[in-house]
Structure 1
């Protein structure tokens, strides 16, 4: 479903906990979600970040 508001994230850099905290502000009922780049690298949980994004893509 298309919405007028888009929630945009980028530069997650493997910081899974921070990513989860930010995602609390996204409402799938009223907002689109766009995740730009730099999902991995630097942080300790790059794999978890990629897995979460893949789950989101499959669900939405």
Structure 2
């Protein structure tokens, strides 16, 4: 996995976690759901990159 893609995916995960936490703290369900979606998006992309790398080797 390229370092750029890895950092981008980790960034999505971190940003999603922060949005989710903020949404919970202020009682904003919409922000909480957007955060969960972004976190999951980052996790799925990260897993896909890892699988792609495993097939290369």
TM over 0.5: same fold? no
Structure with more of its chain in strand, by fraction: 1
TM-score (norm 1): 0.36
Which structure's CA Rg is the greater one?
A: 2
TM-score of the aligned structures, taking structure 2 as reference length: 0.38
Q: Which has the higher helix share?
A: 2
